């Protein structure tokens, strides 16, 4: 209810300065989140080769068997 009310007020606001400030703040919020997620993806990408490396010894075992 609170969020819906805030969005209605935002939609009704005609002051360009306020709308621009809110827009910049929202963009900064999502860009910050995107950077954090990109860092997590980089970490996962670094971990991903470790999994195939772990799978290679398993393949090696199959080849040895």
The number of folded domains in the chain is 1
Q: Would you say how long the chain is, in residues?
A: 65
CA dihedral of residues 55, 60, 61, 65 (deg, nearest 10) = 140
Above pLDDT 70, what percent of the chain?
Answer: 51
Under the banding of pLDDT at 50, 70 and 90, the label for residue 11 is very high
Per-residue pLDDT tens digits for 17-46? 999 999 999 999 999 976 666 666 666 655
Q: Which residues contact 22 (CB under 8 A, 6 or more apart)?
A: 10
pTM attached to this predicted model: 0.45
Note down the domain range covering 13. 2-64
């Amino acid at each position: 209810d609170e969020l819906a009310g805030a969005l209605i007020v935002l939609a009704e606001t005609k002051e360009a300065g306020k709308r621009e400030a809110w827009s910049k703040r929202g963009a900064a919020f999502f860009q910050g989140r995107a950077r954090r997620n990109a860092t997590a993806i980089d970490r996962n990408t670094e971990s991903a080769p470790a999994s195939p490396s772990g799978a290679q010894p398993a393949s090696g075992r199959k080849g040895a068997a």
